[in-house]
Amino acid sequence: MPETGAILSGSIALVTGASTGIGRAIALAAAGAGADVGITYLSKLREAQEVARAVERSGRRSAVFQLDLSDSTSISALAAQVRAEFGGVDVWVNNAGVDILTGRGAGLNDVEKLDELLAADLRGTILASWEAARLMLEQPKGGVILNMSWDHAISGMPGRNPEMLAAVKGGVLSFSKSLARSVAPKVRVNVLAPGWIETEFGNTLPSSRHTEVAMSTPLKRWGTPEDVARAAVFLASRDAAFITGHALLIGGGIVM
């Protein structure tokens, strides 16, 4: 992706779920913007190590941590590991979540999907945010927390999977706004709300549906992980120093 500049120069960023997809793009963009980057993975160690090597090729430090977002012990251990490795954290991006649309997740029944989403995407994001806030409030310069929601959590979308995703990602959005008030002025909390982004799920759709999505988008294309990453770098940077409690829609205008 294009060089982002050095607007995160000297910062420490942690990106959860950074072995592939949007998380990978955010980790690389943060490194391109001058940050040292911690990377978490659940099961894809090799991919996470590849991202770490890419970060290091850009001249930044990296470290890889395993994280099970549904396990509170794993989350608290991560905070301790980040402090031990980097001394603190300036930007904590809660990108990791459960995939209920492809692979193993697509084969779960509705209750199993809902339970996993609630445990990881909602409860895990809340617990991780609390850990991040605790670390940042102890630091003289505070920090920035970015949480991952979904643009259609605002507008709604029919279907059982969208119902569950909207409930959970809507919870992340509401929680983040309250957290932003709790930890201000020292810590800023904002939300990334992507829409149709070219990830593994997009590759599973029939070409006709893929085209339909693009044509229904005012900007007439799918988003890319890099589109989300550039938004993340902006919200994490000093350029967004007067923005907190905000949800940035990254969906090409489908939801406004």
In order of start, what are the domains of the chain with their CATH numbers?
Answer: 12-250 (3.40.50.720)
pLDDT at 203 over 90: no
178 burial (CB, 10 Å; 0-12 / 13-18 / 19+) is: exposed
Q: Taking all residues of the chain, what is their mean pLDDT, rounded to a whole number?
A: 96
Could you give phi then psi for residue 17, rounded to 5 degrees?
60, 45
pLDDT band per the 50, 70, 90 thresholds, residue 227: very high
Q: What is the pLDDT of residue 201?
A: 86
Q: What is the average pLDDT across 140-150?
A: 98
pLDDT at 4 over 50: no
pLDDT value for 251: 98
What contacts 24+ positions apart, CB below 8 Å, involve 76-82? 76/127, 76/131, 78/40, 78/128, 78/131, 79/131, 79/132, 79/134, 79/135, 82/12, 82/14, 82/38, 82/135
Confidence at 200, pLDDT banded by 50, 70, 90:
confident
- What is the distance, to the nearest Å, from the Cα of residue 158 to the centroid of all Cα atoms in its chain? 24
Q: Which of 29, 36, 38 is nearest to 3 (CA)?
A: 29
For 254, phi then psi, to 5°, come to -60, -45
**In contact, 151 and 254? CB cutoff 8 Å:** yes
DSSP state of 11: -
The per-residue pLDDT for range 24-81, each reduced to its tens digit, is 999 999 999 999 999 999 999 999 999 999 999 999 999 999 999 999 999 999 999 9
Q: What was the pLDDT predicted at 6?
A: 84
